[in-house]
Structure 1
Amino acid sequence: MPNPAAQPEPWTHHQAVVNDVRLHWVEAGDGPLVVLLHGFPEFWYGWRKQIPALAAAGFRVVAPDLRGYNLSAKPAGIRPYRVQALVDDVAALIHHLGARQAHVVGHDWGGIVAWWLAMVHPECIDRLAVLNAPHPPAFSREIRRNPKQMLASWYAGFFQLPALPEAALRARDYAALLGIFRAESVRPGAFSEDDLQRYRESASQPGALTAMLNYYRAATRYRPPPTRIIPHDTLLIWGVRDQALTIELTEGLEAWAPRLRIERIPEASHWVASEYPDPVNQLLTGFLAPPRA
């Protein structure tokens, strides 16, 4: 029976077939459209601390489960997770929602998708915000020249193996997967036990772990689209204590995004939106709210 004391969720759930794949998303608020793209190994819930704040600031906020995650469809194979398919999903979702363009905010893999969306479908974006996700050419640069980044990215190589990464992440009731959120660098209290249970349930959806890992596998097998200059006003929010992505990835980005502003949060790790939601929400609302000149 429903719990009469339970508080209603501050968002509604939706799903539809876009770009030939069924996507699930949550939505809140009215106003200019903001699309929030999560990363690995989260799902839409990674934005739980941003959705109400952005909706209260006067935005229509949509946070999808990217293909392969949680309640969205999980196409079989590696090819469906190449970059072109991921960015086409987001462009199709924006149009499905009745908008010509949206403010797009991405974290981790969602941030990588956001960077590429701005290059492949620039007409779909008004303003772009990225949280702890490397611009693709900058990541290639640092992998080649920076031993710290090479070492920090060891897991991406491990994820290329068949079956073994799934088994490792699933072992002991997803202990290794949830350990990502419990690392020493992560601010205590950023993730509750309820949060971790939600991530466990999402990853345990049939086919989800393989689909999530196929993002990494597709990235090494399929050539991405051409790199283009990003013409949009762009905000990069960076947790400096990120253990997987070095601070050097924030350097020299103006060559690819001339209208870039960078905000570094020294105390934050990779999970900056969960650790420091108030500063992140203030940065996002302040950046997205101003009208065009």
Structure 2
Amino acid sequence: MSDHVQITTAAGTFDALSGGSPGDRPVLLLHGFPEAATAWAHQVAELGRAGYHAVAFDQRGYSPGVRPEEVADYRMDELVGDVLAIADELGWSRFDLVGHDWGATVAWHTAAEHPERVRTLTAVSTPHPSALAAALREDEEQQLRSQYMAVFRERSAERRLLDDDAAALRRIYEYRPAPSQIDDYVVRLSEPGALTAALNWYRAARWNVAPEAVAVPTMYVWSTEDVAFGSAAALACGKWVTGAYRFEMLEDVSHWVPEEVPETLTALLLDHLA
């Protein structure tokens, strides 16, 4: 079981899921686009049952209480600042950090820039930003895979994704979870300003500078059927971790690892944390 909670920082009030008890070893989980903290519902509940205090929050733009209008408000330093502010509000001086998709990008940055706060890192799907940058320069396949990012930065992206009962947005969820789950994401992102805020993560990326190598113990989980990230960036990821590094490859799994194979990912996560 997990509880719905709210966490207030200087930036505003974030909606979150919480499992386990305060005082247990803390784990913070970061979702990606175009989802919400509920993508981690299974992991939050299982971590709580395993003796951890797990918290997943709706990140900047996804929480209605933290939805600034300016593109610059979605730069990486703001997103990392939210992670640290949430941890501070929870009283966590150090914590284990888990991220998927954009949440993994934020997690890579946080672990690289604030190793004194992060005990371990688990990044799912998205490789270290420097590994991805190298693949975008050198690997034609990755260049093709990443063309969607330019589309998401276009001014027409909101309309194109939400037209026809959000048909284009619904197609993004290729793993086909329960229809009610997709409906929940679509309802959330159809709120005034919500999809614009989520897309502003892509629009603000031009200001982001790739972080240095990560020194904390790191597990990177990549799936072979990921349409966004190919093997070139995935296999180069270890070059950007100077601490203990573990690479897990999931065969025949799509980009949406936390929800498509929740038991598999949770088992890997619990083993890494132990």
Q: What TM bracket, shorter-length normalisation?
A: over 0.9
In the TM superposition, residue 134 of structure 1 has moved relative to its aligned partner by 2.0
Alignment of 1:1-293 (within 5 A): 10-30=1-21, 31-162=24-155, 164-181=156-173, 183=174, 186=175, 191-220=177-206, 222-224=207-209, 227-258=211-242, 259-288=244-273, 290=274
Q: How far apart in 2 are the matches of 1:207 and 1:123?
A: 35
In the TM superposition, residue 122 of structure 1 has moved relative to its aligned partner by 1.6
In the TM superposition, residue 70 of structure 1 has moved relative to its aligned partner by 4.3
Q: How far apart in 2 are the matches of 1:237 and 1:17?
A: 31
- Please give the secondary structure, in 2, of the residue aligned with 1:74: coil
RMSD of equivalent CA atoms: 1.3
Higher-Rg structure is: 1
Q: Write the deviation string for residues 133-179 of structure 1: whole angstroms up to 9, x where unpaired.
A: 121101110111111111111110112212x0000111111111111
Further displaced range: 240-249 or 81-90: 240-249
Q: What percent identity do the matched residue pairs reach?
A: 34
Q: Which amino acid aligns with 2:220?
A: L
- Please give the secondary structure, in 2, of the residue aligned with 1:25: strand
Change (3 A) 1:85 1:200: same
Question: How many pairs are equivalent?
Answer: 271
Unmatched 5+ stretches in structure 1: 1-9
More helix by share: 2
Q: Which amino acid aligns with 2:7?
A: A
Give me the TM-score of the superposition, normalised by structure 1. Answer: 0.89
In the TM superposition, residue 73 of structure 1 has moved relative to its aligned partner by 1.6
Q: Write the deviation string for residues 166-199 of structure 1: whole angstroms up to 9, x where unpaired.
A: 0011111111111111x3xx3xxx5001111111
Q: 1:25–1:62: 8 Å Cα contact kept in structure 2?
A: yes
Give me the TM-score of the superposition, normalised by structure 2. Answer: 0.95
Q: 1:83–1:113: 8 Å Cα contact kept in structure 2?
A: yes
Q: How far apart in 2 are the matches of 1:117 and 1:27?
A: 21
Q: Which amino acid aligns with 2:223?
A: G
Show structure 1 runs of 4+ deviating over 6 A: none
Q: 1:21–1:67: 8 Å Cα contact kept in structure 2?
A: no
